[in-house]
Amino acid sequence: MADLEAVLADVSYLMAMEKSRSQPAARASKKIVLPDPSVRSIMQKYLEKTGEIRFEKIFSQRLGFLLLKDFAENVAETSCPQIKFYEAIKEYEKLETPEERLTKAREIYDHHIMNYTKESLQHVQRHLMKNNVPPDLFQPYVMEICEQLKEDIFPKFLESDKFTRFCQWKNLELNMNLTMNDFSVHRIIGRGGFGEVYGCRKADTGKMYAMKCLDKKRIKLKQGETLALNES
């Protein structure tokens, strides 16, 4: 019977993993409602105080990048090819084999690298002539792209409705309280000195997470409060 339960747990976990990859997020049982746009003024002061309103901070977050991209492509008065160039570089960096990277690198070279510094161009040319395509081949361009976006698009983004939407999501994030009801918990995927780690799937997004469950009795028995806090 125990073996059957283990098999069923494995199947449930694998199905959840497959759904998280192949299916769009499950519909939340309770619809997410963003706060009123007027929250922008409060959140802007908070984000300024915490040092969050910097290009590097916002651009490195998935939410910030998508809203900045939306602004650049659909709202900004001038075209912004830097975003597409940046996305092409990120696709290149994820490729696993030199053959795939070489093909993608040549495609990027043919379509994107005009209007940048001579030094960056020569850096890429030297590597391509030797068919040498490390994952960080286009890093000089990433730095240039970010600098251009920071100087041109970012100040306009901060004055736009897209930044208001960013503030709304950040406010929601700060005030969101998660409970066990927000997850479907599957099998144990690991064990530690103070408890177990379970695979779980978030109900509204469908994403998979590892949930650490600590055993209070075990922690007290081993006098491991400090270690447990460091683990979590």
pLDDT along the chain (232 residues), means of 10: 51 56 51 88 95 95 95 85 94 94 94 88 93 94 95 95 96 86 83 81 82 79 66 57
Task: State whether residue 68 is helix, strand or coil.
Answer: helix
Q: Do residues 121 and 107 both lie within one domain?
A: yes
CATH of the domain at 165: 1.10.167.10
Q: Do residues 46 and 159 both lie within one domain?
A: yes
How high is the pLDDT of residue 82?
92
Question: What phi, psi does 207 have (nearest 5°)?
Answer: -75, 150
How high is the pLDDT of residue 210?
87
Domain that holds residue 120: 38-175
Q: Do residues 216 and 120 both lie within one domain?
A: no
Q: Do residues 164 and 187 both lie within one domain?
A: no
Residue ranges for the known binding site are 212
How high is the pLDDT of residue 28?
47
Residue ranges for the known binding site for ATP are 212
Task: State whether residue 104 is helix, strand or coil.
Answer: helix
- Inside any domain, residue 92: yes
Q: Which residues of 108-131 are buried (b: 16+ CB within 10 A; e: fewer)?
A: beeebbeebeeebeebbeebeeee
Q: Do residues 44 and 158 both lie within one domain?
A: yes
Q: Do residues 100 and 200 both lie within one domain?
A: no
Report d(CA 136, CA 142) in Å as an integer. Answer: 10
Q: Do residues 93 and 144 both lie within one domain?
A: yes
Considering the entire predicted model, what is its pTM?
0.70
Say how many domains are in the chain: 2
- Inside any domain, residue 8: no
- Inside any domain, residue 100: yes
